[in-house]
Amino acid sequence: MNLPTDIPFANKRAMIDPEFLKLLACPACGASLAIQGDMLQCQGDSGCSRLYRVEDEIPVLLIEESIDPADGPADLGQDPS
């Protein structure tokens, strides 16, 4: 699943070391994560596909702050600057 286009500042790219990214896992289902724009997205076969924001090169892997694409359009309510 690709990053929804209605998420603010989706045209930026998260800056995470590829070796560090290999160590990360989705806290909701345990699957690997991939960079999608300025966020990380779950790549699990279970259909989780949650999105996690990255702030100052630090992944925010909190389920309660993630975006579940199954919930429909998302608004993070944040200014990207």
Give the three-class secondary structure for 63. helix
- Give the model's confidence band at 78: pLDDT under 50 very low, under 70 low, under 90 confident, else very high: very low
**CA torsion angle 59 64 68 72 (round to 10):** -120
pLDDT, residue 10, reads 47
pLDDT in tens, 39-65: 999 998 877 999 999 998 899 999 999
Cβ-proximal residues to 57 (8 Å cutoff; 6+ apart), any chain = 14, 15, 16
β-bridge partners, 1 = none
Structural domains in the chain, CATH included, are: 18-70 (2.20.25)
pLDDT, residue 15, reads 82
